[in-house]
Amino acid sequence: MDWRDNMFRVGIFVNTHGVRGEIKLLPTTDDVNRFHKDLPLVIDTGKEPIPVTVSSVKFFKNKVILGFREFTDINAIEKYKGCDLLVSRENAIPLEDGEYYVSDLIGCSVVEENGTPVGTLIDVLTTGANDVYIVKTAGGREVLLPVIPDCIKNVDIANKTVTVFLMPGLV
């Protein structure tokens, strides 16, 4: 099991800010207000993870400026530019009923209500109206399923199964 399995990307370190080791982060999270002082994060270097703790948070345009207790100098943090910042599942924003982490959905078997296999959920598109599940069929085709009650009947993360009703015209 990889250490990243229970981690979620919350941003990409795009640049440094000032000389005190602060960074500009391009957030990849739905809620930029999730960043707060004392939040434990991990810098994903592609090799060894580097645990950090947020010491300061500022918001500027579409970026978040973070300071870390572990870095107080631009020279020490600069080498991690381009790295992802991750948060553990334990420190992730709690989900509401009917909400799921995308990483938990990826790989789920998608079946019709009568048990007929449709394919495997490979990605989730976020649109203005509703999310859309991208399902790859056994034949290699992609099927787009709107995440609405008429189409998505049940999501069972424990059994990695999504039960759907294929509305006319979807397949």
pLDDT tens, residue by residue, 81-117: 999 999 999 998 888 888 888 889 999 999 999 999 9
Distance from C-alpha of 144 to C-alpha of 118, rounded to nearest angstrom: 11
Q: Which residues pair with 22 in a beta bridge?
A: 17
Q: pLDDT tier at 154 (50, 70, 90 boundaries)?
A: very high
| Amino acid identity for residue 155 in this structure | V
* Nearest CA among 117, 129, 112, 122 for reference residue 144: 122
Domain boundaries, the chain: 3-91, 102-164
* Nearest CA among 143, 117, 119 for reference residue 132: 143
Only one residue has tokens 């394919």, namely: 119
Q: What is the CATH number of domain 3-91?
A: 2.40.30.60
CATH superfamily for 102-164 is: PRC-barrel domain (2.30.30.240)
